[in-house]
C-alpha cells in the first residue's frame, strides 16, 4: 500500500498527467458524439443499427492512443529522468514497485474509461434520437455490457502502455509501438493483406477482439463479446509478465 500511495502521489502531482487523462476522456466523448450524429443522419431505417457502439467507437479510436501513451509515461518517464534509481532505492523489491505502477494506472484508466464510456453513450444516444434514428437504452439486451465493456478495454489499453513503457524504457519508442499495435495494425493492415489474412487479423488481433465486448450487434464471423475480451486480457497479461521478468533482471 505504501508503494501504491507513492505512485499515486507521483501521478497526481504532475499536472500534465491529469490534463492528459481529461484530454483522453474528451477525445472519447467529442468525436464519439459527432460520429453518432453523422451515423444517425445516414440511417435509412433498415438493417441493424448498433447505437451503443456508434456512440463510443469513433471516440475510442482517438482516446486509446492518449490513455495508452499516458501509461507509457507512467512506466517509462523515470528512465528518461534517472528517477528510476531513486524509486528503486525507496522500493528495492522491483516486483512490488512495478506492481504498484500497474495497479495504480490500471485503476485510473479503468475508472476514467467507465466515466468516458457512459458519458459518450448518453450524449451519443441524445443526438441519435434527435436525428430520428433508433437510440439505445441501458436496459436493452447487451447495451449495459457494451458500455461497461468499453471501460474495461480502456483499462487494458492503459496496462499495455505501462508494459511497453517498462519494456522499451523509451517514451517515444514505446508510444510508436503502441500506435502500431492499437491503430495501424488492426485498422490499416487488414486493407493491405489478402482477404483471408485480413479477416483473421480483424478477428484475433487483441484490440480488435477486445472491442467486440462493446458491440450489441454481433458479427458471426468475429469472436463473441466475452471471448474477445478474454483474448485481449490474456495478451495483456503475457505482455505484463514479460515486463515483470525483465524489470526484475536487468539494470536500471
Give residue-wise pLDDT tens across range 142-184: 999 999 999 999 999 999 999 999 998 888 999 999 999 999 9
The pLDDT of residue 117: 97
- Residue 16 CB-density burial (10 A; 0-12 exposed, 13-18 middle, 19+ buried): exposed
Residue carrying the nine cell digits 517514451: 171
Q: Hey, how many other C-beta atoms are within 10 angstroms of the C-beta on 189? A: 15
Cell digits for 124? Answer: 451519443
Rounded mean pLDDT of 205-232? 94
Cell digits for 240? Answer: 505484463
Confidence of residue 252 (pLDDT cuts 50, 70, 90): low
As for how many domains the chain has, the answer is: 1
Q: What angle do CA 63, 5, 65 make, to 5 degrees?
A: 10
The pLDDT of residue 141: 93
User: Which structural domain, as residue segments, surrounds residue 25?
Assistant: 2-41+49-249
Q: Across the chain, what does the average pLDDT equal? A: 91
Residue 108 clears pLDDT 80, i.e. is over it? yes
Q: Hey, how many other C-beta atoms are within 10 angstroms of the C-beta on 38? A: 13
What's the CA gap between 186 and 178, in Å, rounded?
12
Dihedral angle of Cα 115, 116, 121, 126, to the nearest 10 degrees: 100
pTM: 0.91
CA 23 to mean position of chain CA atoms: 14
Amino acid at each position: 500500500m505504501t508503494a501504491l500511495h507513492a505512485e499515486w502521489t507521483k501521478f497526481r502531482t504532475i499536472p500534465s498527467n491529469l490534463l492528459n487523462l481529461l484530454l483522453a476522456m474528451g477525445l472519447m466523448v467529442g468525436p464519439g458524439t459527432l460520429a453518432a450524429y453523422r451515423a444517425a443522419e445516414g440511417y435509412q431505417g433498415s438493417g441493424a443499427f448498433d447505437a451503443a457502439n456508434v456512440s463510443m467507437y469513433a471516440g475510442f479510436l482517438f482516446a486509446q492512443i492518449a490513455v495508452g501513451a499516458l501509461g507509457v509515461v507512467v512506466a517509462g518517464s523515470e528512465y528518461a529522468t534517472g528517477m528510476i534509481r531513486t524509486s528503486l532505492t525507496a522500493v528495492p523489491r522491483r516486483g512490488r514497485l512495478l506492481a504498484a505502477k500497474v495497479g495504480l494506472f490500471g485503476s485510473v484508466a479503468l475508472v476514467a474509461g467507465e466515466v468516458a464510456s457512459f458519458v459518450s453513450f448518453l450524449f451519443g444516444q441524445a443526438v441519435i434520437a434527435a436525428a430520428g434514428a433508433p437510440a439505445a437504452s441501458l436496459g436493452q439486451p447487451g447495451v449495459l455490457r457494451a458500455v461497461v465493456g468499453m471501460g474495461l478495454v480502456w483499462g487494458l489499453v492503459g496496462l499495455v502502455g505501462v508494459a511497453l513503457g517498462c519494456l522499451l524504457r523509451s517514451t517515444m519508442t514505446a508510444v510508436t509501438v503502441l500506435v502500431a499495435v492499437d491503430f495501424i495494425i488492426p485498422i490499416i493492415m487488414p486493407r493491405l493483406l489478402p482477404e483471408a489474412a485480413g479477416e483473421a487479423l480483424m478477428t484475433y488481433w487483441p484490440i480488435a477482439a477486445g472491442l467486440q465486448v462493446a458491440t450489441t450487434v454481433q458479427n458471426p464471423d468475429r469472436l463473441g463479446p466475452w471471448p474477445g475480451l478474454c483474448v485481449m486480457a490474456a495478451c495483456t497479461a503475457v505482455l505484463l509478465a514479460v515486463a515483470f521478468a525483465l524489470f526484475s533482471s536487468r539494470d536500471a
